[in-house]
Amino acid sequence: MIKELDKRKRIAIITSGHLPYDERIFWKFGKTLSEKFDVCIISSKENINTVNDNIQIIGFIDLNKPKAKIEQFLIHLSDFNPELVFCAQPLTILAAIQFKKKNKKVKIVYDVTEWYPENITTKLIGLRRIFNYIILFLLNILTSNLCDWIVVGESVKKRRYKIIAPLKHSTIIGYYPVLKFFNYTPPLIANDKIVLCYAGVITIERGIIQLFEVAKALAVKRPGLFVSIIIAGKFTYEEEEIKFKRLIAHQDNVNITFKHWTDYDKVYFLIKDADICFDLRKLNFIYKNSLPIKLFEYMACGKPFIYSDISAIRNEIGDISCGFLVNPDNVDEIVDRITDYIDNKSMLKSHSLEGRKIIENGKNWETESNKLLSLVDTLLK
């Protein structure tokens, strides 16, 4: 048995921006690849050294200087000695390139899941923002052209890399859910009760306060209706959590239940009791041009959605027949869409079934994983 394992080729997944148990890195890429290869996940976001489902997981933190992080990634890459490295950020590509200098046959893949450098520079202001954007964008161009292949999570992002790295092959491997983890549970809106839900990273920009305002307006419009909200996730900023909890403390017509985030294979249990799921994020550059991952998990569970009107969703799904896209700042419009579901149970059922059907018919990880394995086989020939 040991000899058989020794023959397996090694793949490293390295990230400077995600925790090691990130759903894409561990639950999708890691688990899929570990069926055929030895896999090691290396993250600079958590101190960890363990093995889970035959996946080696190594992590470190407290290294603020990019050079120190690169050196630490390089140490772990040298120890594991992979034939293929998936990199989640430009900084990790720099580490992989250093490793490749001594291991010429190593292949490097850039897995693009975020708008870089917008995901960093939007937090800055003034000249500092402009300067950092230019430097990081140039870094992105450099590293994109030094890797061997680019994987992109969605078509909108792929267009950028066709411009900045036109000679590099690229493959879209989507964010779709692992279907076996999400059971179909249709909404059961009663005449006297409705359960709204938000799941994922919790911030004001992602519309958590707006959802509360919608729930309050719905309770006023339908005074005999018991309105509750399930909020499943974790606040990114402590000050925003304090602000939100102070806000909801001064009302009594909406019931709010907080649920702690959990492992990816148990997310279904956080949202299974919801009737309608929401994401009322602000329409800034990143949100307007990014597919929300949770959208597909809601659909897999058979939950109709009400989302900010994002072009990326329209491009992905086409004719929206499993939810509504709305102006996130228009509370009245959103309340009207909720009451449409309350008053039209046949539409509610139809949207529920259609969402699940879309996921079953191809927008699931079971299908996407075949693309990943095919790509790896091509690179490791």
Q: What is the per-residue pLDDT across 261-280, written as a single tens digit (0 to 9) for each?
A: 999 999 999 999 999 999 99
Claim to verify: residue 228 and residue 153 sit in the same structural domain = no
- Is the same domain home to 229 and 107? no
The reported pLDDT for the residue numbered 5 is 44
If asked whether residues 213 and 258 sit together in one domain, one would say: yes
Q: Taking 80 as the threshold, does the pLDDT of residue 62 lie above it?
A: no
Based on the fold, state whether residues 38 and 59 are members of the same structural domain.
yes
- Binning pLDDT at 50, 70 and 90, where does residue 189 land? confident
What is the spatial distance between Cα 372 and Cα 381, in angstroms, rounded to a whole number? Answer: 15
Same domain? For 22 and 113 the reply is yes
N-terminal to C-terminal alpha carbon distance within the chain:
24
Strands (E), 239-328: 254-259, 276-279, 305-308, 323-326
Same domain, 184 and 284: yes
Residues 83 and 229 in one domain: no
The secondary structure of residue 264, as a DSSP letter, is G
Task: Count other Cβ atoms within 10 Å, centred on residue 155.
Answer: 13
- Single-letter residue type at 322: C
- Confidence band for 1, pLDDT divided at 50, 70 and 90: very low
User: Residue 310's domain is classified under what CATH number?
Assistant: 3.40.50.2000
Under a CB-based contact definition with an 8 Å cutoff, are residues 279 and 295 in contact?
yes
The pLDDT value given to residue 2: 34
The number of distinct structural domains making up the chain is 2
Residues 188 and 298 in one domain: yes
Q: Are residues 148 and 233 in the same domain?
A: no
Contact 152, 114 (CB under 8 A): no
Which single residue is written with the structure tokens 């010429």? 104
User: What are the tens digits of pLDDT across the range 109-147?
Assistant: 999 999 999 999 988 899 999 999 999 999 999 999 999
- Domain holding 277, by residue range, is 179-360
- Same domain for 151 and 185, yes or no, is no
Task: Supply 183's token pair.
Answer: 């059971």
Q: Tell me the one-letter amino acid at 379.
A: L
184 with 152, same domain?
A: no
Region 28-33: mean pLDDT is 98
Mean predicted lDDT score pLDDT of the chain = 94
Alpha carbon 105 to chain centroid, angstroms: 31
Asked whether the predicted pLDDT for residue 4 surpasses 80, the reply is no
- Helix then strand then coil, % of the chain, to nearest 5: 45, 20, 35
In this structure, the answer to whether residues 131 and 188 fall within a common structural domain is: no
